[in-house]
Copies of this chain bind each other. A is one copy, B any other.
Amino acid sequence: MENRLDLTDAETRALGNAAVEWMAEYYRTLRERRIMPDTTSAAIRELIEEPLPQSGTEAGRLLEILQSTIARLSRHNGHPRMFGYVASPGAALTAIGDMFASTLNANVTSWRSAPAPTEIEHVAINWIKEILGYPKDAAGLFVSGGSLANFAALAAARSFKAPGVIATGMDGHRRLRVYVSEEGHFSIAKAAGLLGIGQANVQAVRTDARFRIDLAELERCVEKDLTAGYVPACVVATAGSVNTGAFDPLEELAGFAERHELWLHVDGAYGGFAALAPSAAHFFQGIGEADSVALDPHKWLFLPVSCGCVLYRDADAARRTFGHDADYTRPVGLEAEEAFAFWNFGPELSRRFRALNVWLLIKYAGVRALAEAVEHNMACARYFEEMVRASTDFQMLAPVTLSIFCFRYAPKGFTGDLDALNERILVELHRAGHSYVSNTRLRGRFALRGCVLNHRTIEQDMEILLEDLRQAAHRALALDGEGHPLPAGS
């Protein structure tokens, strides 16, 4: 039978080379692109919606659609002034890495199914442990992102306090309780909901002036729960909150967790790779005591999505939670090292060769260049903070801890609703497409929020951002509360 799914050799090279040309052009022109297209769902659907195609389309035509429609109508996360959320930039090297990974198409379930890729994953995980100062004999693997990493870690924490839960379920276990600061990521509550712990059993703990978990309040929460007959199970340290970049005190939390026999999980999805930067190294004191750590190479290791990572200090804790076996996966004729299977350490069976890009970028750049890039991102955030503090029209709403900056427009003498005004500024900024920040609420106030997480961002981008915000503010001030222009003279 004719094989109509493979390109011919000549087609592969022609399409591949055309795609490489597009990639080079994309990176070359990235800085000039609108960050966010000015479009609607209906407008895009108009271009791409169609019933299931019965016959095929020429590959070159598809590349055109990729460029002229899909790329054009995307948000460009690699743009140096994309400060929204915690967006990974990616790079040409790692895009090529993903083409390699998909050509080889290793399925990194186990050594047997992917010998070299499994070893590369071991090496990459060891490097990450070295970066963090995490114990050498810890286990770990790559997952699809921070949500799954936090989920996997909380699953292991649950097994720690409710042994046998995997076999017999949560019914009959007194309520387990998880503690995390108000700054904690919603994936913690989401994981607790999925694991049958219940989102209501995630206790949000008040934070201090730097948005770190309040240790006295944490102690009170745990005591109160013990009195009420709950089972305190896990405390989650936020190692760089996505709200403000706040970094909980790991050493104190490690001591606290030990005293109360709690599992200590460190959610370093955003801030974990700040360990690379000398100026942030002090935050990581005590991390070696954590029972588990989540961190995202697709955040501050600059990789494209999706690559998260979870580490477990005790490999057996993970094995008790995820380990399983079936007749059709039973290894035959293999030694111990060759019988190694990642499925015993996480929720997935099929796994993309995520380790490749981790290995590739660390090898290519070396850890010193990566450390400089992280350090420079933090310097850019501090520079923005300085400019805001020196201004008369903007104010900071949280101190800069890592590379996140929260602020608002608050010109002297403005007596209107600052929350509403700043919402309008955000909409105006996005509409202009030249700089991008996102939003949050802090202590009840609407905040503009940016995060520097891009090796392409330079100090000048911070200046441009401030100027773009100012222009957006002036436009917003000229609009009424509904977004319509104010009548002249009002």
Residues of the B chain whose Cβ atoms lie less than 8 Å from the Cβ of A361: 5
Contact A364 B16 (CB under 8 A): no
Contact A186 B7 (CB under 8 A): no
Residues of the B chain whose Cβ atoms lie less than 8 Å from the Cβ of A72: 116
A290-346: which have CB < 8 Å to B? 296, 298, 302, 304-306, 308, 321-322, 324-330, 332-333, 335, 337-338, 340
Is A224 on the interface with B (CB-CB < 8 A)? no
Contact A98 B96 (CB under 8 A): no
Contact B113 A103 (CB under 8 A): no
Knowing A54-B368, A144-B352, say if A119 contacts B48 (CB, 8 Å).
yes
Residues of the B chain whose Cβ atoms lie less than 8 Å from the Cβ of A416: none
Question: In the bound complex, what is the Cα–Cα distance between A54 and B130 (angstroms)?
Answer: 12
Is A199 on the interface with B (CB-CB < 8 A)? yes
* Residue among A96, A190, A338, A353 facing the most chain B CB atoms (10 A cut-off): A96
Question: In the bound complex, what is the Cα–Cα distance between A467 and B433 (angstroms)?
Answer: 63
User: Which of A145-153, A206-214, A277-285 lies at the interface with chain B?
Assistant: A145-153
* Residue among A111, A123, A194, A366 facing the most chain B CB atoms (10 A cut-off): A194
Question: In the bound complex, what is the Cα–Cα distance between A3 and B380 (angstroms)?
Answer: 14
Residues of the B chain whose Cβ atoms lie less than 8 Å from the Cβ of A100: 19, 22-23, 66, 95
Taking the closest CB of chain B, its distance from the CB of A391, in whole angstroms, is 23
Q: How many of chain A's residues touch chain B, expressed as a range?
A: 35 or more
User: Which of A170-178, A248-256, A259-267, A392-400 lies at the interface with chain B?
Assistant: A170-178
Residues of the B chain whose Cβ atoms lie less than 8 Å from the Cβ of A373: 1, 3-5
Contact B12 A27 (CB under 8 A): yes
| Smallest Cβ-Cβ distance to A27: which chain B residue | B12
A163-195: contact bitstring with B at CB < 8 Å (1 yes, 0 no)? 001111111111110000000011101101111
Contact B338 A40 (CB under 8 A): yes
Contact A59 B98 (CB under 8 A): no
Residues of the B chain whose Cβ atoms lie less than 8 Å from the Cβ of A118: 41
Contact B439 A328 (CB under 8 A): yes
Residues of the B chain whose Cβ atoms lie less than 8 Å from the Cβ of A305: 105-107, 350-353
| Smallest Cβ-Cβ distance to A199: which chain B residue | B167
Taking the closest CB of chain B, its distance from the CB of A56, in whole angstroms, is 4
Question: In the bound complex, what is the Cα–Cα distance between A325 and B441 (angstroms)?
Answer: 13
Contact B19 A96 (CB under 8 A): yes
Is A360 on the interface with B (CB-CB < 8 A)? yes
Taking the closest CB of chain B, its distance from the CB of A44, in whole angstroms, is 4
| Smallest Cβ-Cβ distance to A169: which chain B residue | B198
Enumerate 11 A-B pairs (CB-CB under 8 Å) in ascending A order.
Answer: A6-B455, A16-B19, A40-B337, A40-B338, A41-B340, A62-B364, A73-B115, A98-B102, A146-B350, A151-B347, A169-B170
Question: In the bound complex, what is the Cα–Cα distance between A174 and B172 (angstroms)?
Answer: 9
Residues of the B chain whose Cβ atoms lie less than 8 Å from the Cβ of A353: 305
A61-112: which have CB < 8 Å to B? 62, 66, 69-78, 85, 87-107, 111-112
Contact B103 A167 (CB under 8 A): no
Residues of the B chain whose Cβ atoms lie less than 8 Å from the Cβ of A169: 170, 175-176, 192, 196-198, 200-201
Knowing A5-B361, A66-B100, A77-B105, say if A199 contacts B54 (CB, 8 Å).
no
Residues of the B chain whose Cβ atoms lie less than 8 Å from the Cβ of A348: 144-145, 147-148, 306
Residues of the B chain whose Cβ atoms lie less than 8 Å from the Cβ of A19: 16, 20, 96, 99-100
| Smallest Cβ-Cβ distance to A372: which chain B residue | B1
Contact B92 A105 (CB under 8 A): no
Give the residue of B74, B130, B330, B347 whose beta carbon is less than 8 angstroms from that of A114.
B74
Is A221 on the interface with B (CB-CB < 8 A)? no
Contact B193 A194 (CB under 8 A): no
Contact A92 B54 (CB under 8 A): no
| Smallest Cβ-Cβ distance to A1: which chain B residue | B376
* Residue among A55, A123, A352 facing the most chain B CB atoms (10 A cut-off): A352
Is A413 on the interface with B (CB-CB < 8 A)? no
Question: In the bound complex, what is the Cα–Cα distance between A363 and B281 (angstroms)?
Answer: 49
Is A388 on the interface with B (CB-CB < 8 A)? no
Contact B53 A362 (CB under 8 A): yes
Residues of the B chain whose Cβ atoms lie less than 8 Å from the Cβ of A196: 165, 169-171, 195-197
Is A15 on the interface with B (CB-CB < 8 A)? yes
| Smallest Cβ-Cβ distance to A428: which chain B residue | B333
